[in-house]
Amino acid sequence: MTKVPSLQADNNGPFKVENDATAGYWGYNPENTLPPPDMMGAYMRNRPVPADQVEGRKAWIIGSGIAGLAAAFYMIRDGGMPGENITVLDAMNVAGGSLDGAGNPDDGYIIRGGREMNWNYDNIWDMFQDVQALELPKGFSVLDEYRLVNDADPNYSKARLMHKRGEIRDFSMLGLTRSQQWELVRLLLKRKEDLDDITIEQYFSPGFLETNFWFFWRTMFAFENWHSLLEMKLYMHRLLDDIDGLNDMSALVFPKYNQYDSFVRPLIDHLRQRGVKVQFNTRVYDLEMRVAGDTYTVTAIRAEIGGKDETITVGPNDVVFALTGSMTEGTAYGDMDHAPVLERGRHEPGDASEWALWKNLARKSPIFGKPEKFYGDTDKSMWESVTLTCKPSPFVDKLKELSVNDPYSGKTVTGGIITFTDSNWVMSFTCNRQPHFPNQPDDVLVVWLYALLMREDGNYIKKPMPACTGREIIAELCYHLGIEQHLDTVVANTKARLALMPYITSMFMPRAAGDRPRVVPAGCTNLALLGQFVETSNDIIFTMDSSVRTARVGVYTLLGLRKQVPDISPVQYDIRTLLKAARAINNNAPFPGERLLHRLLDKTYYAHILPPLPDKDSTKPGKLESEIAEFFGDGRQTVTRLVGWLDKVRENFRGRKQD
């Protein structure tokens, strides 16, 4: 077999596994002939020749969420490790972690969340292009299924915002004033390293936090005003190309079913068929390490297996992948008659929790970060979600009015969440494509609801959401929909299952450089850290895609594979993205200078990069002049001269013959 030079585990060798497009200028030169750091596409789908050292080694993976399962997938596909040498350990008795989906029509279904996604989830699609879809003939992948579903059934919303108990509120624009637009632009311009420990509300004006934009943003991604400004900035870059589809959610795509059936089942099947073992009821709380100088080598895994303390020996050539934390850790459940009861302390989750592993690592060295920054205040990281299993009722009638297709048609229903902007809890709800579960009866709909503010009393039920039973939450929902007079009938035909998640947005807590460890912390020879609490160059968190990214970086680095993990999608630099984003944040009106650009480019090859102007006579001299005057201040002569100059340049473009 071809021998491949091995890499340094800290990734500082000549070949970078984890790329950073913001690290500096990229251009070709004799020393740099690799693709750009955020290159996507077929050229990046190379299979690296497996390094010879994979033979005889084992992989221990802690956590069977998408990050852990992806680590197993890449160990096999790109690392060439036989599946039988891979063991996944999980504290629970079901795989998937935060990707859940369970229940039945009698007891009620439960999903702690839904999955908003987009087409440039490049790590997810890289993996799922090679995983067999459960319901398609052999050879068709999960990606194929996803495209089949979404290409045929566009997603958009007819009622993104509501208020005044049942009225749709205008959601056609982001609703930012000129100075609020500048607040966003200035954030894009800021350097990442200048944003340590700053919160969103410390930066934005109070007026900004009342705009449509902020309602769309905070409810779509679950940002609270006290969360990390740095993370908000990273989201802006990562999702810049989605901004013109933010208001009506046309930028989003959704899986066919809930996340467990859509992603976990096919992936687990794929791994089991290849011999991967998943060992449940195994809570890992520490890793024993041999420390030599600046190097750290895991020698054993300390775990509670079925309630007993055990030690799993890690061989000298084995590799370990450890999830450092989970957003769904410590979920408390409730139902129609019982509010959920939390078992985690506000500031301290306790040693019997899954956070123990990261806490114990952090005690060994600062290279492992500061977990307390994330788990340390559940009042700021908690929210609750509710799954409603609905038989026909006045609620379903109201839902039909708000949906883009009949909820029973199998197509997009609400097209994403509907938010009540005057809800004290900031409550939103959604009905995704139905059936949401493969076994769901025809007359049942599964609806998901959540709220952001956990300490406020409801508008109708005078209690904070976590103190409410399912019945009370349904009452609050009916009130906001203006159908509370039908409450008894709705309750008789609806089952609510509640999930209060103390750490659901713990990843968004304000942070500074060094609070999160790197995927392979400096000096670690056989350990990679996975999931949502790990530092990557530019990626955002609270996505499945970023968990898969950490798995790829970990596998390639530990196995010394010469394969790059591209940085986040380069579309943020695409001039078209910038232009359409500028138009969107200017409330869909031409942004300052846009008419000027039209005047210059309209008759050139590049005409198509500009968003079409809303008014037909928009390039007429009067409009352009007033825009220029607005741009540069008044000064009739200057304006006339500038327009004349522009026209000449344009005519030059058109008339010029080849020399």
Residues that bind ligand FAD (CB under 6 A): 62-68, 89-92, 97-99, 112-113, 115-117, 282-284, 323, 326-328, 354, 357, 385, 504, 531-532, 542-544, 547
Q: Which helix (H) or strand (E) holds 551?
A: helix 544-559
Q: Are 200 and 225 in contact (CB under 8 A)?
A: yes
Minimum distance from residue 326 beta carbon to ligand FAD (Å)? 3
Nearer to ligand FAD, 67 or 240 (CB): 67
Nearer to ligand FAD, 61 or 487 (CB): 61
Catalytic residue flag (residue 630): no
| Residue among 109, 135, 11, 140 nearest 562 (CA) | 11
Question: Three-state SS across 443-455?
Answer: CCEEEEEEECCCC
Closest approach of ligand FAD to the CB of residue 536, in Å: 12
Annotated catalytic residue, options 235, 260, 285, 503: 235
| Helix/strand/coil (H/E/C) assignment for every residue in 276-305 | CEEECCEEEEEEEEEEECCEEEEEEEEEEE
Q: In the bound complex, what is the minimum distance in angstroms from residue 327's beta carbon to ligand FAD?
A: 5
Give CA separation, 614 vs 250, 455, 587, 591, in Å: 19, 44, 12, 12
Tell the burial category of 437 from Cβ atoms under 10 Å away from its Cβ (0-12, 13-18, 19+): buried
Compute how many other C-beta atoms are within 10 angstroms of the C-beta atom of residue 588. 15
How many whole angstroms separate alpha carbon 383 and alpha carbon 273?
37
Nearer to ligand FAD, 94 or 600 (CB): 94
Q: Is 290 left (phi over 0), alpha (psi -120 to 50) or beta?
A: beta
Cis bond upstream, residue 407 (ω within 30): no
Which of 98/297 has CB closer to ligand FAD? 98
Closest CA to 410 of 386, 440, 387, 389: 440
Q: In the bound complex, what is the minimum distance in angstroms from residue 215's beta carbon to ligand FAD? A: 17
β-bridge partners, 309: 304
388 vs 582, which CB is nearer to ligand FAD? 388
Q: Which is nearer to ligand FAD, 7 or 323 (CB)?
A: 323
Please report the sign of the dihedral spanned by the C-alpha atoms of residue 426, residue 431, residue 433, residue 437: positive
Residue of 18, 116, 384, 627 marked active site: 116
Q: Compute the distance between CA of residue 287 and CA of residue 319 in angstroms, rounded to an integer.
A: 12
Q: What are phi and psi of 85, to 5 degrees?
A: -90, 5
Least distance in angstroms from the C-beta of 48 to ligand FAD: 24
Name which of 306 and 614 has its Cβ closer to ligand FAD: 306
Give min distance, CB of 584 to ligand FAD, in A: 21
**Known catalytic residue at 235:** yes
Residue 112 CB, nearest approach to ligand FAD (Å): 4
3-class DSSP assignment, residue 384: strand
395: amino acid identity, one letter: F
Catalytic residue numbers read 116, 235
